[in-house]
Amino acid sequence: MLKIRALRNKIYEMRFELLMASLLCVFILNILFPDNIYWGIAQATYLPVQLLAALVLFEFKPRILRVVLVFGVALLVCRGMDVFFITNYKDELVLLYLCFFGTIMLEVFQQIYHAQMFTAKIVYAAVCGLLLIGYCGYFLFLAIEFHHPGSFLGLGPGDSSINDLFYFSYVTILTIGYGDITPKTWIAKNATVLVGFTGYLYSIVVIALIVGRAHRMPRSAVAPTKKPAPLPARSPQSSSAKKPPEA
């Protein structure tokens, strides 16, 4: 029992590394399976990994853990129904994705805010937060496009439009603004401004928090540069003792 608890604590210490790896693997799998990142093999591959990373993140919050587990199981069930029974649950899936990743994003924000010291884990958590904003923006744009087709100009035909919205979400939060995809309807414009403003505000706040935590680090935590010890002074007695006798 103690070994299991120690293992769980060790995995919890690596929660941000696991979450960041599960979020970044999306970009790699989308390159390997570029046909459809929303319904394709890539989504079915990394969704269980993201669910496990979320469970580790909420290890010591059992109430929220149950809610996230319900969202994750519902996502897996809907995904299985789509694959094996060829049913269409795109509206339900988009809503579940927003709730799932939105809950994880808020928890990451909270843990960054309550962190007392500047460590590498804060940097991992900051990267996770930015990636999660892109995820939530993507599913928000998907919901708008599903309910109001043609809300975004410049999307590719068919399923490629889904891939383009994933790209558009991260281009928006990174404030790149190539202009190849633009919002057309009023709700799409509002959503784009909201996602872009959230990413911009997040960057400012997180950088301020990280800098503040770094300045509040105690000086004892920083290893001082050791100066070489001075050579011991030679006493007159020792020098006269070593002086050769006169002839």
Task: Provide the pLDDT confidence category of residue 222 given band limits of 50, 70 and 90.
Answer: very low
Predicted pLDDT at 69: 85
Predicted pLDDT at 144: 93
What's the pTM value of the predicted model, to 2 decimals?
0.79
Output the average pLDDT for the chain: 80
Q: Are 68 and 100 in contact (CB under 8 A)?
A: yes
For residue 189, pLDDT beyond 90: yes
For residue 133, pLDDT beyond 90: yes
| Mean pLDDT, rounded, for 4-21 | 85
Q: Which residue has the higher pLDDT, 91 or 187?
A: 187
Q: Which residue has the higher pLDDT, 226 or 42?
A: 42
